[in-house]
Amino acid sequence: MRIAATAVSLIVLALACSTHAEPLPRPDRGGVPESKLYDYGTMGPPATPAIVAAADAAVKTPLPAGPFRADWGSIEKNYTAPVWLEDAKFGIFMHWGIYSAAAHHNEWYEKHMYAADADWHAQHFGPQEKVGYKDLIPLFTASHWDPDAWAALFRQAGARFVIPTAEHHDNFALWDSQVTPFNAMKMGPHRDLIGDLAAAVRRQGLKFGVSNHGMENFTFVNPRPDIDERLKAVHADLYDPHWASFYNVADRSPAAMQAFLTDWTNRNIELIDKYQPDLLWFDNGVNLRVLDPLKLRVAAYYYDRALQWHKAVTISTKFVAYAPSNDDTHQIGSVIDFEKVGPRSPAGIRPGPWMVDDTIGSTWGYTEGMTVSDAGGIIAKLVDTVSKGGTYLLNISPMADGTIPEAQVHTLLGIGRWLDRNGEAIYGTRPWSQFGDGRWRFTTKGDALYAIALGWPDGEAVITAPVGQVKSVEMLGGGKVAFRQDAAGLHLSLPDGKPDESALALRIVRAQ
Q: CATH number of the domain that 443 lies in?
A: 2.60.40.1180
The gap between the terminal CA atoms of the chain, to the nearest Å, is 49
Residues 6+ apart with CB under 8 A from 271: 166, 175, 194, 210, 212, 277, 280
More confident call, 13 vs 126: 126
Burial tier of 100 (Cβ tally within 10 Å: 0-12, 13-18, 19+): buried
- The set of residues, in sequence order, having a beta carbon less than 8 Å from that of 328 and lying 6+ positions away, is 319, 320, 336
pLDDT category at 42 given cuts 50, 70, 90 is: low
Preceding peptide of 353 cis, ω within 30°: yes
DSSP 444: E
Q: 40 pLDDT band (50/70/90 cuts)?
A: low
What type of residue sits at position 175? Answer: W
Same domain for 237 and 111, yes or no, is yes
pLDDT bin (cut points 50, 70, 90) of residue 39 is low
Q: What percent of the chain has pLDDT over 70?
A: 92
What is this structure's pTM? 0.92
**pLDDT beyond 70 at 32:** no
- 3-state helix, strand, coil split of the chain in percent (to 5) is 35, 20, 45
Is residue 20's pLDDT more than 50?
Answer: no
Q: Which of 400, 425, 450 is the last residue in one of the domains?
A: 425
Helix (H) or strand (E) holding 304: helix 292-309
CA distances from 233 to 218, 223, 236 (A): 22, 14, 8
pLDDT 10s digits, 401-414: 999 999 999 999 99
Q: Are 432 and 443 in contact (CB under 8 A)?
A: yes
Q: How far is CA 491 from CA 14, 26, 234, 479, 481, in A?
A: 61, 63, 76, 16, 10
Same domain flag for 254 and 325: yes
Same domain, 115 and 150: yes
Picking from 357, 350, 286, 355, the residue whose alpha carbon sits closest to that of residue 322 is 286
Task: Map residue 243 onto helix, strand or coil.
Answer: helix
User: Which percentage of the chain shows pLDDT scores above 90?
Assistant: 87
Could you tell me which of 411, 392, 406, 385 has the C-alpha nearest to residue 502?
411
Residues 141 and 268 in one domain: yes
Query: Does a structural domain hold residue 15?
Result: yes
Split at pLDDT 50, 70, 90, the class of 459 is confident
Distances (CA, A) of 169 to 109, 123, 211, 355, 485: 10, 24, 11, 21, 55
Decide if 332 is inside a domain: yes
The answer to whether residues 336 and 450 belong to one domain is: no
pLDDT at 122: 98
475 residue type, one letter: M
Q: What is the mean pLDDT of residues 38-52?
A: 81
Q: Going by C-beta distance under 8 Å and a sequence separation of 6 or more, which residues neighbour residue 390?
A: 338, 345, 346, 350, 352, 353, 354, 355, 356
Q: What is the pLDDT of residue 225?
A: 98
Residues 311 and 421 both lie in one domain: yes
Alpha-carbon distance values, 380 to 87, 272, 452, 454, 506 (Å): 18, 34, 10, 6, 15
Mean pLDDT, to the nearest integer, of 419-442? 97
| Separation of alpha carbons 107 and 87, rounded Å | 30
Q: How far apart are CA 429 and CA 399, in angstroms?
A: 34
Neighbours of 126 (CB within 10 A): 12
**Shared domain check, 499 and 359:** no
Asked, for residue 349, whether it belongs to a domain, the answer is yes
Average pLDDT over the chain reads 92
Q: What is the pLDDT of residues 183-241, one digit of tens each?
A: 999 999 999 999 999 999 999 999 999 999 999 999 999 999 999 999 999 999 999 99
CATH (domain of 366): 3.20.20.80
**Residue 431 falls within a domain, yes or no?**
no
Q: What pLDDT was estimated at residue 43?
A: 85
Contact predicate 225/52, CB 8 Å: no
Domain assignment of residue 375, yes or no: yes
Answer with the one of 425, 444, 475 that is the final residue of a domain. Answer: 425
pLDDT band at 164 (very low <50, low <70, confident <90, very high): very high
Average pLDDT of span 284-293: 97
Structural domains in the chain (count): 2
Give the 3-state secondary structure of residue 508: strand
Q: Does one domain contain both 171 and 238?
A: yes
**SS3 category, 374:** coil
272 Cβ contact partners less than 8 Å away, ≥ 6 residues apart: 280, 298, 301, 302, 305
Check: CB of residue 492 under 8 Å from CB of residue 473.
Answer: yes
- Please state the φ and ψ torsions of residue 101, each to the nearest 5 degrees: -75, -40
Residue 260 shares a structural domain with residue 288: yes
Name the band, by pLDDT with cuts 50, 70 and 90, for residue 491. very high
133 domain-assigned: yes
Question: From CA 98, how far away is CA 107, in angstroms rounded?
Answer: 9
Q: Residue 326: is its pLDDT beyond 60?
A: yes
Under 8 Å between Cβ of 255 and 249: no
Amino acid symbol at 303: Y
Q: What is the per-residue pLDDT for 500?
A: 77
SS3 readout for 323-373 = CCCCCCCCCCCEEEEEECCCCCCCCCCCCCCEEEEEECECCCCCCCCCCEC
In a domain, 3, yes or no: no
The boundaries of the domain holding residue 155 are 8-425
**Tell me: the pLDDT tens digits for 62-82?**
999 999 999 999 999 999 999
Q: Are residues 474 and 503 in the same domain?
A: yes
Residue 261: CA count within 13 A, CB half-sphere: 32
Same domain, 405 and 498: no
313 found inside a domain = yes
Domain-terminating residue out of 396, 425, 454: 425
Are 312 and 188 members of one domain?
yes
Residues shown for the chain? 512
Residues 236-252: tens digit of each pLDDT: 999 999 999 999 999 99
